[in-house]
Amino acid sequence: MRGKGEGAVFRVPADKTQKLQYWTGTIELPSPDGKRRRVTIRRKNKADLLTELDAKRRELKTRGDLPTKNQTVEQWFTYWYEAIVSKKVRPNTLAGYKSVVFQHIIPAIGTVKLDKLTAAHIRRVHDRITNDQGLSSTYALLAHRTMAVSLKVAVQEGRIGRNPADLTDAPRKSSAPREAFNIIEALAVLEYVSRDPDMGARWATALLTGARQGEVLGIEINRVTDVIDLAWQTQRLPLTDHTGVPAVPVDFEHRHLTGGLYLTRPKTKPRIIPLVDPLKTILERHMVARPPNPWGLLFTLNGKPIDPAKDWENWRAILKALKIEKNVTVHDLRHTAVDLLYASGVPEDLISLIVGHSNVTMTRAYRTKGDLVRLRAAMEQFSEQFSSLSGGRSTTLAAVES
């Protein structure tokens, strides 16, 4: 097979004793899926054909590919995923694209010619996800947005005249509410983690800051002062065929920890949050009790950086041990964090800064209408438990009671 950009010129018919009908030329195109792709051009005049072929080769060199009338949806989305978007977006975003492209879009409409794609085909993908697969409308919305992004590029490259995803309504996001702890459950979690000398401070940080999982696991000791600088997050990145090289865009900032674990920059602007009691004293005692580690991380497990997947296992083990059947995720702890910060006597404006709310109105919306007297008493016990782990008395009671 000829290489990309190469081709051939033929006379039709090839027999020179017969009257010339036209000249035809072909250019070989890149093929991520291994299937042969080429552009064919026909002209009456050979000189005109050669001029057109030269122009197409220059365009191919500039753009990396050329549109073809017979390109299928499968060929386009495979090319878009492997040659375009994989070099531009963050790993988690790319994983979402990969899921909907290869599990739903291609199985539903992959054989359709790209230039024949209609709004009805887009809705076929929606229906496959929600009706055939029984998945949520939120996932169908992700698929719709993926198609819209990909087909926008196809329009820009002249492969199709308009974006069919713009011709039909996107699915609505499902409104399933997040689950949250009630007061009794929150108190049980507090008491349970306060008895864990190794990981108790890790869960206290989540409960008292509402920070994301990766942000907590990526905190460095030298970024804990009178504030916590959430400059990095721990994330597992997909690796390329080259040992230890992650499959990320060239401008994706990352620092290697171990194996497939890396410190990466958060998706949103890094937050700097005030460090107040009781968490201040809890972390001070944690840092004194824990030996240093090569990565300078605040939290490690068995002397190594904590894999987010293992962290999830530990969280589910806590829920199981407490016989809490609610599907409360680590992210859902933000609601509990607001309650506990109120109970600790932390000023409302500081609570907004800690959990990253734009105003106190939003913070109040996260606050559970519960028994604050019981919560305040729990925070006192919480501080005492952590204090007893390191053999000293907590200095946070005055701050909590003030």
Written as tens digits, the pLDDT of the chain (402 aa) is 444 444 688 888 888 888 988 898 888 877 765 677 777 888 888 888 898 888 888 877 776 776 666 788 998 999 899 888 888 888 888 889 999 999 999 999 999 999 899 999 999 999 999 999 889 899 999 999 999 999 999 888 878 889 999 999 999 887 666 677 776 787 788 788 888 888 989 998 888 788 889 999 999 999 999 888 999 999 998 877 666 678 787 778 889 999 889 999 987 777 788 787 778 888 988 998 888 999 999 999 999 999 999 999 999 999 999 998 888 888 777 777 777 677 667 677 777 766 665 565 655 555 555 544 554 555 555 555 555 544 333 333 233 333
pLDDT for 102: 95
pLDDT for 400: 31
Q: Over the range 270-285, which residues count as b (16 or more CB within 10 Å of their CB) and which as e? A: ebebbbbbbbbbbbbb
Half-sphere exposure of 248 (CA within 13 A, CB side): 22
Say whether the peptide bond before residue 278 is cis (omega within 30 degrees of 0). Answer: yes
Q: Which fold has domain 73-167?
A: DNA polymerase; domain 1 (1.10.150)
Q: CB burial class (10 A; 0-12, 13-18, 19+) of residue 333? A: buried
Are the CB atoms for 72 and 110 separated by under 8 Å? yes
pLDDT for 384: 58
Tell me how far apart the alpha carbons of residues 63 and 67 are, in angstroms, rounded to a whole number: 10
Domain residue extents for the chain: 7-63, 73-167, 183-240+250-401
| Number of Cβ within a 10 Å radius of residue 78 | 20
CATH 1.10.443.10 fits 183-240+250-401, yes or no: yes
Stated length of the chain? 402
171 DSSP 8-state letter: P
Q: Which amino acid is at 77?
A: F
| Number of Cβ within a 10 Å radius of residue 192 | 16
**Virtual torsion, Cα 70, 76, 79, 80, nearest 10 deg:** 150
In the numeric block, which tokens belong to residue 25? 């030329």
pLDDT for 275: 82
State the pTM of this model.
Answer: 0.64
Q: Pick from 40, 3, 1: which is nearest to 22 by CA?
A: 40
pLDDT for 244: 66
pLDDT for 113: 92
Q: Pick from 108, 184, 191: which is nearest to 146 by CA?
A: 108
